[in-house]
Structure 1
Amino acid sequence: MPEFFHDKKLYYTPIEFALNHIGGTWKMPILWRLQNQILRYGELKKDIPHITDKMLTTQLRELESNGMIERRVYAIVPPKVEYSITNKGSRAISVIETIMKYGYELIQEAGITYPPKT
Protein backbone atom coordinates (compact mmCIF):
# COMPACT_ATOMS: atom_id res chain seq x y z
CA MET A 1 0.00 0.00 0.00
CA PRO A 2 1.30 3.46 -0.77
CA GLU A 3 2.04 5.73 2.15
CA PHE A 4 0.56 9.22 2.38
CA PHE A 5 0.72 12.41 4.43
CA HIS A 6 -2.17 14.19 6.11
CA ASP A 7 -1.80 17.12 8.52
CA LYS A 8 1.99 16.64 8.53
CA LYS A 9 1.68 13.01 9.65
CA LEU A 10 2.79 9.99 7.65
CA TYR A 11 0.30 7.14 7.30
CA TYR A 12 1.19 3.72 5.92
CA THR A 13 -2.32 2.32 5.50
CA PRO A 14 -5.95 3.49 5.43
CA ILE A 15 -6.45 1.36 8.58
CA GLU A 16 -3.93 3.49 10.46
CA PHE A 17 -5.72 6.63 9.23
CA ALA A 18 -9.11 5.31 10.39
CA LEU A 19 -7.74 4.27 13.77
CA ASN A 20 -6.36 7.77 14.22
CA HIS A 21 -9.99 8.94 14.10
CA ILE A 22 -11.62 6.30 16.33
CA GLY A 23 -8.79 4.32 17.95
CA GLY A 24 -7.52 4.32 21.49
CA THR A 25 -9.24 3.50 24.73
CA TRP A 26 -11.84 6.27 24.85
CA LYS A 27 -12.92 7.51 21.41
CA MET A 28 -15.12 4.54 20.57
CA PRO A 29 -16.90 4.55 23.97
CA ILE A 30 -17.58 8.28 23.55
CA LEU A 31 -18.98 7.82 20.03
CA TRP A 32 -21.02 4.83 21.22
CA ARG A 33 -22.68 6.92 23.93
CA LEU A 34 -23.43 9.77 21.53
CA GLN A 35 -24.96 7.62 18.80
CA ASN A 36 -28.55 8.08 20.00
CA GLN A 37 -28.44 11.12 22.24
CA ILE A 38 -26.93 14.51 22.84
CA LEU A 39 -24.90 14.63 26.06
CA ARG A 40 -23.23 17.27 28.17
CA TYR A 41 -19.67 16.91 29.45
CA GLY A 42 -20.79 15.90 32.96
CA GLU A 43 -23.12 13.23 31.57
CA LEU A 44 -20.30 11.71 29.52
CA LYS A 45 -17.96 11.84 32.52
CA LYS A 46 -20.53 10.11 34.72
CA ASP A 47 -21.21 7.43 32.10
CA ILE A 48 -17.49 6.71 31.55
CA PRO A 49 -16.30 6.59 35.18
CA HIS A 50 -12.66 5.60 34.64
CA ILE A 51 -11.77 8.43 32.26
CA THR A 52 -9.97 11.45 33.70
CA ASP A 53 -11.18 14.98 33.08
CA LYS A 54 -8.04 15.74 31.08
CA MET A 55 -8.42 12.65 28.90
CA LEU A 56 -12.14 13.25 28.27
CA THR A 57 -11.41 16.85 27.26
CA THR A 58 -8.56 15.75 24.98
CA GLN A 59 -10.60 13.00 23.32
CA LEU A 60 -13.61 15.28 22.80
CA ARG A 61 -11.37 17.89 21.17
CA GLU A 62 -9.79 15.30 18.87
CA LEU A 63 -13.17 13.85 17.88
CA GLU A 64 -14.46 17.36 17.19
CA SER A 65 -11.32 18.26 15.22
CA ASN A 66 -11.76 15.13 13.10
CA GLY A 67 -15.41 15.96 12.43
CA MET A 68 -16.74 12.95 14.34
CA ILE A 69 -18.70 14.98 16.91
CA GLU A 70 -20.12 18.46 17.16
CA ARG A 71 -19.75 20.74 20.17
CA ARG A 72 -22.54 23.24 20.69
CA VAL A 73 -22.04 26.07 23.19
CA TYR A 74 -25.04 27.99 24.49
CA ALA A 75 -24.47 31.61 25.56
CA ILE A 76 -26.13 31.36 28.95
CA VAL A 77 -24.93 31.58 32.53
CA PRO A 78 -23.69 29.14 33.61
CA PRO A 79 -22.38 28.06 30.18
CA LYS A 80 -24.03 25.03 28.64
CA VAL A 81 -22.10 22.76 26.24
CA GLU A 82 -23.59 19.77 24.43
CA TYR A 83 -21.93 17.10 22.32
CA SER A 84 -23.58 15.22 19.47
CA ILE A 85 -22.40 12.76 16.87
CA THR A 86 -22.06 13.92 13.26
CA ASN A 87 -22.87 11.95 10.12
CA LYS A 88 -19.17 11.14 9.82
CA GLY A 89 -19.13 9.85 13.40
CA SER A 90 -22.31 7.84 12.83
CA ARG A 91 -20.62 5.98 9.98
CA ALA A 92 -18.08 4.66 12.52
CA ILE A 93 -20.77 2.97 14.65
CA SER A 94 -20.97 -0.14 12.43
CA VAL A 95 -17.18 -0.48 12.67
CA ILE A 96 -17.37 -0.17 16.46
CA GLU A 97 -20.12 -2.83 16.56
CA THR A 98 -17.94 -5.21 14.54
CA ILE A 99 -14.93 -4.64 16.81
CA MET A 100 -17.13 -5.12 19.89
CA LYS A 101 -18.52 -8.40 18.54
CA TYR A 102 -15.01 -9.63 17.79
CA GLY A 103 -13.92 -8.62 21.29
CA TYR A 104 -16.78 -10.63 22.83
CA GLU A 105 -15.77 -13.64 20.75
CA LEU A 106 -12.13 -13.35 21.88
CA ILE A 107 -13.23 -13.02 25.53
CA GLN A 108 -15.37 -16.14 25.21
CA GLU A 109 -12.57 -18.10 23.50
CA ALA A 110 -10.22 -17.12 26.33
CA GLY A 111 -12.67 -18.53 28.87
CA ILE A 112 -13.18 -15.18 30.56
CA THR A 113 -16.43 -14.55 32.40
CA TYR A 114 -17.78 -11.30 31.04
CA PRO A 115 -19.12 -9.25 32.50
CA PRO A 116 -17.26 -10.28 35.65
CA LYS A 117 -19.38 -11.44 38.54
CA THR A 118 -18.97 -9.20 41.57
Structure 2
Amino acid sequence: MKERTYICGLDAAIAVMGGKWKGLILFSLGEGRLRFGELRRTLPGISERMLTLQLREMEKSGLVHREVHYQVPPKVEYSLTEFGHSLNTAMAPLGEWGEEHMERIEAIP
Protein backbone atom coordinates (compact mmCIF):
# COMPACT_ATOMS: atom_id res chain seq x y z
CA MET A 1 0.00 0.00 0.00
CA LYS A 2 1.35 3.40 -0.98
CA GLU A 3 2.00 5.81 1.87
CA ARG A 4 0.01 9.04 1.68
CA THR A 5 1.99 12.12 0.75
CA TYR A 6 -0.38 14.60 2.39
CA ILE A 7 -1.76 14.75 5.91
CA CYS A 8 -5.24 15.93 4.85
CA GLY A 9 -7.17 17.42 1.94
CA LEU A 10 -6.25 20.97 2.93
CA ASP A 11 -2.58 20.05 2.82
CA ALA A 12 -3.01 18.66 -0.71
CA ALA A 13 -4.98 21.71 -1.91
CA ILE A 14 -2.40 24.15 -0.55
CA ALA A 15 0.39 22.17 -2.21
CA VAL A 16 -1.30 22.61 -5.61
CA MET A 17 -2.01 26.29 -5.26
CA GLY A 18 0.55 27.47 -2.72
CA GLY A 19 2.12 30.89 -3.04
CA LYS A 20 0.76 34.39 -3.38
CA TRP A 21 0.06 34.50 -7.10
CA LYS A 22 -1.62 31.22 -7.98
CA GLY A 23 -4.86 32.07 -6.19
CA LEU A 24 -4.96 35.45 -7.89
CA ILE A 25 -4.28 33.88 -11.28
CA LEU A 26 -7.09 31.38 -10.65
CA PHE A 27 -9.43 34.23 -9.74
CA SER A 28 -8.49 36.24 -12.86
CA LEU A 29 -8.92 33.27 -15.19
CA GLY A 30 -12.25 32.43 -13.58
CA GLU A 31 -13.80 35.08 -15.82
CA GLY A 32 -12.58 33.36 -18.99
CA ARG A 33 -9.62 33.11 -21.36
CA LEU A 34 -6.92 35.75 -21.16
CA ARG A 35 -3.79 36.47 -23.12
CA PHE A 36 -0.54 36.87 -21.18
CA GLY A 37 -0.59 40.69 -21.28
CA GLU A 38 -4.24 40.85 -20.26
CA LEU A 39 -3.58 38.52 -17.36
CA ARG A 40 -0.56 40.53 -16.25
CA ARG A 41 -2.65 43.73 -16.19
CA THR A 42 -5.12 42.08 -13.80
CA LEU A 43 -2.27 41.32 -11.36
CA PRO A 44 -0.55 44.55 -10.30
CA GLY A 45 2.89 43.90 -8.87
CA ILE A 46 3.67 40.60 -10.60
CA SER A 47 6.72 40.50 -12.85
CA GLU A 48 6.65 38.87 -16.28
CA ARG A 49 9.11 36.25 -15.05
CA MET A 50 7.02 35.36 -11.99
CA LEU A 51 3.81 35.17 -14.03
CA THR A 52 5.53 32.90 -16.55
CA LEU A 53 6.84 30.62 -13.77
CA GLN A 54 3.47 30.45 -12.02
CA LEU A 55 1.61 29.71 -15.26
CA ARG A 56 4.07 26.93 -16.12
CA GLU A 57 3.61 25.35 -12.69
CA MET A 58 -0.16 25.65 -12.95
CA GLU A 59 -0.14 24.13 -16.42
CA LYS A 60 2.05 21.26 -15.19
CA SER A 61 -0.33 20.58 -12.27
CA GLY A 62 -3.35 20.63 -14.60
CA LEU A 63 -4.99 23.83 -13.34
CA VAL A 64 -4.39 25.94 -16.46
CA HIS A 65 -4.64 25.22 -20.16
CA ARG A 66 -2.27 27.05 -22.52
CA GLU A 67 -3.47 27.39 -26.09
CA VAL A 68 -1.09 28.60 -28.78
CA HIS A 69 -2.60 30.13 -31.93
CA TYR A 70 -0.01 29.93 -34.69
CA GLN A 71 -0.37 33.24 -36.47
CA VAL A 72 1.71 36.36 -36.95
CA PRO A 73 2.26 37.61 -34.31
CA PRO A 74 1.81 34.42 -32.24
CA LYS A 75 -1.11 34.47 -29.83
CA VAL A 76 -1.24 32.50 -26.57
CA GLU A 77 -4.34 32.26 -24.40
CA TYR A 78 -4.68 30.84 -20.91
CA SER A 79 -7.82 29.36 -19.40
CA LEU A 80 -8.79 27.18 -16.47
CA THR A 81 -9.20 23.45 -16.88
CA GLU A 82 -12.09 21.65 -15.16
CA PHE A 83 -9.62 20.87 -12.36
CA GLY A 84 -8.78 24.59 -12.13
CA HIS A 85 -12.46 25.57 -12.11
CA SER A 86 -13.13 23.13 -9.29
CA LEU A 87 -10.32 24.63 -7.20
CA ASN A 88 -11.52 28.16 -8.01
CA THR A 89 -15.01 27.20 -6.81
CA ALA A 90 -13.57 25.76 -3.60
CA MET A 91 -11.55 28.96 -3.02
CA ALA A 92 -14.56 31.30 -3.42
CA PRO A 93 -15.76 30.98 0.23
CA LEU A 94 -12.22 31.69 1.45
CA GLY A 95 -12.13 34.83 -0.70
CA GLU A 96 -15.48 35.94 0.72
CA TRP A 97 -14.15 35.39 4.24
CA GLY A 98 -11.09 37.49 3.39
CA GLU A 99 -13.25 40.33 2.03
CA GLU A 100 -15.39 40.25 5.17
CA HIS A 101 -12.37 40.42 7.49
CA MET A 102 -9.95 42.49 5.40
CA GLU A 103 -9.76 45.46 7.80
CA ARG A 104 -8.99 43.18 10.73
CA ILE A 105 -6.38 41.26 8.71
CA GLU A 106 -4.71 44.48 7.52
CA ALA A 107 -4.49 45.65 11.16
CA ILE A 108 -2.45 42.61 12.21
CA PRO A 109 1.11 43.81 12.92
TM-score for both structures, normalised by structure 2: 0.84
Percent of matched pairs sharing the same residue: 38
Q: Which residue of 2 aligns with 1:8?
A: none
| Counterpart among 61, 64, 68 of residue 66 in structure 1 | 61
Bigger radius of gyration, 1 or 2?
Answer: 1
Structure 1: tracts of 5 or more residues without a match: 6-10, 114-118
Q: Which residue of 2 aligns with 1:104?
A: 99
> Which one has a larger percent strand, Structure 1 or Structure 2?
1
Post-superposition CA distance 1:54-86 (Å, at most 9, x none): 110011011111111100011112111000111
> Which one has a larger percent helix, Structure 1 or Structure 2?
2
Deviation at 1:107, TM superposition (A): 2.3
Mapped to 2, the partners of 1:13 and 1:62 lie a distance apart of: 22
Structure 2: tracts of 5 or more residues without a match: none
TM-score for both structures, normalised by structure 1: 0.78
**C-alpha RMSD of matched pairs (Å):** 1.9
Q: Which residue of 2 aligns with 1:54?
A: 49
**Equivalences, count:** 105
Mapped to 1, the partners of 2:9 and 2:84 lie a distance apart of: 17
